[in-house]
Copies of this chain bind each other. A is one copy, B any other.
């Protein structure tokens, strides 16, 4: 892990440290375009063919049957089922608190405006497979989707070699309340959700993490008018620590991020060189017998530590970096949390490891990466609903606002707009009005 000294870095060197790999690789776009065309043309046949080629699996029916669901549930040890249930319950509790709770605003007398929340009807959830088994992601996407009231929730996940889906993923789906699971992954899954096939429903929005191919496919879906959560890059953590932090805790947090993959980023920012040195020692010790040591070591090799003159600059850098996960191992975490401008999710103090949020504290782990936290929020109940504005004017309300409306219509030279007001103002009889006017 390289150590940089903030006060010796130029502005452009700091920018370089904040730069992550861009999205939208032209080669991947070309590959995904071909897959989309094939799925659009040949539907399920194309999906099966790509699954054979990319996952090495024969899937037959892509939809997981009721029987498979039930037998999978029987295979998962109860201690795991209990853990998934508790995680789901916490995630549900936190996301349930996110509903729209605004009242009706009487902007002026007789002019009532408000917002109401409605579920997005059909959503597609993507849960990666490959080397990882990710039932936690099933919960993070599925629990809020069901909570929001989405009527069709279609979950896609790559099959194993034998064409089956990991039982834990099915157990998590079942706990989340999801009934439709498809054993398909990669760009072909995104294309199926975007275009629809005989088995897979066309959806209005696609959410979830995944490989660069999957993310590129989401970009294409977006171009075709299907909403997406965001384009996700490699996972990241940035730890801001002072001399009260325990090097062992910080090192363990950095490793828990680094073990995700060689492209993960685990950054340490601290004004204390002693802490940085301590963490480096702990990293070496803790890497030794880690099962995913090679991945974690590679990730840490391309990550860095940054020594700043004070916590002021540490927070400044963090805001510029806009990390997916931000851990504040500080004497006064709440005070510094108020200074956070851009981050996906923030973990305060020594007893809040990122792992808590990854799994079971209740916050969502589908978060903006690659600096997108500057403009994106993580997945929340908001991601599964629309907020529709409503307005109702009484006759008096409209009469009072009419001069303003007419002046603006004239100014914009939209006479038809002006007349839609005029026809009402000039209408003789009172007519029925909501306010009984």
Contacts and interface: CB of A to CB of B under 8 A. Distances in A.
A97 to B, nearest CB: 5
A401 interface: yes
Nearest to A386: B377
A18 interface: no
Nearest to A29: B223
B411 A80 contact: yes
A378 B390 CA distance: 12
Given A378-B387, A382-B387, 20 more contacts: A22-B224, A80-B411, A83-B403, A121-B374, A135-B412, A225-B231, A227-B376, A244-B432, A248-B423, A249-B427, A256-B414, A342-B386, A345-B389, A346-B389, A346-B390, A348-B391, A353-B421, A358-B417, A359-B404, A375-B386
Interface in A366-383: 370-378, 380, 382
A420 interface: yes
Most buried by B among A136, A334, A362, A373: A362
B345 A388 contact: yes
Nearest to A358: B417
A107 to B, nearest CB: 4
Interface in A345-366: 345-364
A340 interface: yes
A16 to B, nearest CB: 16
A164 interface: no
Given A252-B423, A331-B432, A359-B405, A353 B398 contact: yes
A153 interface: no
Contacts of A97: 102-103, 105
A377 to B, nearest CB: 4
Contact of A415 (B226, B259, B334): B259
Contacts of A407: 79-80, 82-83
Interface string A55-78: 000000000000000000000000
A196 to B, nearest CB: 12
A359 B392 contact: no
Nearest to A363: B389
Interface string A250-266: 00110110111000000
A118 B362 contact: no
> What class of interface size applies to chain A in its complex with B?
35 or more
Contacts of A397: 351
A87 B380 CA distance: 32
Contact of A389 (B351, B357, B413): B357
Given A345-B390, A386-B342, A398-B353, A98 B83 contact: no
A71 B243 CA distance: 56
A356 B391 contact: yes
9 tightest Cβ-Cβ pairs between the two chains A and B: A227-B375, A83-B407, A259-B416, A348-B392, A24-B223, A204-B375, A252-B420, A256-B420, A107-B362
A254 B409 CA distance: 15
A133 interface: yes
Given A341-B118, A341-B121, A373 B386 contact: yes
Contacts of A411: 80, 83, 133, 135, 168
B133 A359 contact: no
Contacts of A418: 355
A290 interface: yes
Contacts of A346: 388-391
Contacts of A296: 416
A419 B86 CA distance: 20
